[in-house]
């Protein structure tokens, strides 16, 4: 029985699917863009402390350069460390391991620079309270979680891409594998008997082994033994006798 079309249900289902799709797309967008925006905060703190006349008194362009370079160093060192760690997990042979500890050491250098510039200088100047300096220290370390998120998203994307390529490769190989499996004559036993019956009913002749192999697209050298056995059994079952040798 054909169900009746419900326009109200269709409307709410369409709206629900649209909103769910928009929610997923928005979440993906936020998860991509936010980790790249987070380093702006520690970069500004580095700029402020290097450009402040009461601290390092760098020219503005040098201070901005220092802020960008330091934050880039933090992101790259975290991303490299995670990539090296994942690579080492895949290969147990120590000779093939990437220099994970060296990448971690580079990040430690970044942490030291950020702490000295953004925290130690604040403590020395004494212009702010301890809790404010603590907040500055936490903001200065935001590049670590952002770098981790960026790295694991990129790593996961590479894993999905590799999985997709592997699935596509397996799918393209499937017809070839099926074709190789069809080369076994035993899979065509019923078809062989059917061909023998049809040919014998039409002209009273028994098909040769070569003709059977050819029509089934089989390797005759490998299939002729099974085909011959099947043909002999078929002849006995149908009480077919001939003074002539059956064709090959």
Write the DSSP string, 41-61.
HHHHHHHHHHH-TTTT---HH
Same domain membership, residue 95 and residue 48: yes
How far does the chain reach from its first CA to its final CA, in angstroms?
A: 58
Residue with the larger pLDDT of the pair 179 and 22: 22
Using CA atoms, how far residue 8 sits from 3, 4, 12, 14, 15, in Å, is: 14, 12, 6, 10, 11
Which pTM value belongs to this model?
0.57
| 58 has pLDDT over 80 | yes
- Contact (Cβ atoms closer than 8 angstroms) between residue 237 and residue 193: no
Q: Which of 210, 209, 71, 95 is nearest to 150 (CA)?
A: 71
Over residues 215-235, the mean pLDDT reads 85
| 62 has pLDDT over 60 | yes
Cβ atoms within 10 Å, residue 231: 23
Identify the residue whose tokens are 């049809």: 198
Is 45 part of any domain? yes
pLDDT digits (tens, 9 = 90+) for 83-107: 888 888 877 777 778 888 898 899 8
Same domain membership, residue 59 and residue 106: yes
Is 177 part of any domain? no
The per-residue pLDDT for 244 is: 41
Residue with the larger pLDDT of the pair 166 and 62: 62
Residue ranges making up the domain that contains 223: 185-237
Q: Compute the distance between CA of residue 114 and CA of residue 42 in angstroms, rounded to an integer.
A: 8
Share of the chain above pLDDT 70, in %: 88
- Contact (Cβ atoms closer than 8 angstroms) between residue 55 and residue 122: no
Same domain membership, residue 228 and residue 135: no
- Contact (Cβ atoms closer than 8 angstroms) between residue 73 and residue 112: no
Burial class for 65, CB neighbours closer than 10 Å (0-12, 13-18, 19+): middle
DSSP label at 187?
G
Cβ atoms within 10 Å, residue 133: 19
The 3-state DSSP class for residue 112 equals: helix
The 3-state DSSP class for residue 204 equals: coil
Same domain membership, residue 192 and residue 142: no
Same domain membership, residue 145 and residue 51: yes
Number of domains in the chain: 2
The per-residue pLDDT for 59 is: 93
The per-residue pLDDT for 131 is: 92
């Amino acid at each position: 029985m054909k169900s009746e079309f419900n326009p109200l249900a269709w409307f709410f289902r369409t709206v629900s699917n649209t909103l769910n799709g928009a929610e997923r797309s928005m979440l993906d967008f936020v998860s991509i863009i936010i980790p790249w925006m987070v380093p702006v905060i520690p970069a500004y703190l580095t700029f402020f402390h290097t450009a402040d006349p009461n601290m390092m008194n760098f020219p503005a362009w040098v201070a901005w350069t220092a802020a960008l370079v330091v934050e880039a160093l933090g992101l790259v060192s975290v991303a490299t460390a995670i990539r090296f760690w994942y690579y080492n997990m895949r290969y147990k042979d120590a000779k093939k391991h990437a220099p994970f500890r060296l990448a971690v050491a580079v990040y430690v250098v970044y942490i030291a620079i950020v702490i000295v510039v953004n925290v130690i200088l604040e403590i020395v100047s004494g212009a702010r309270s301890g809790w404010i300096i603590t907040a500055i220290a936490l903001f200065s370390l935001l590049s670590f979680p952002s770098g981790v998120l960026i790295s694991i998203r990129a790593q996961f994307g590479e894993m999905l891409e590799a999985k997709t390529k592997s699935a596509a490769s397996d799918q393209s190989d499937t017809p070839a594998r099926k074709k190789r499996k069809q080369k076994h004559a035993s899979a065509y036993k019923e078809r062989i008997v059917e061909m023998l019956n049809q040919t014998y009913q039409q002209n009273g002749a028994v098909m040769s082994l070569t003709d059977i192999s050819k029509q089934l697209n089989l390797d005759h050298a490998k299939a002729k033994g099974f085909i011959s056995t099947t043909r002999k059994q078929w002849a006995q079952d149908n009480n077919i006798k001939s003074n002539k040798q059956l064709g090959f």
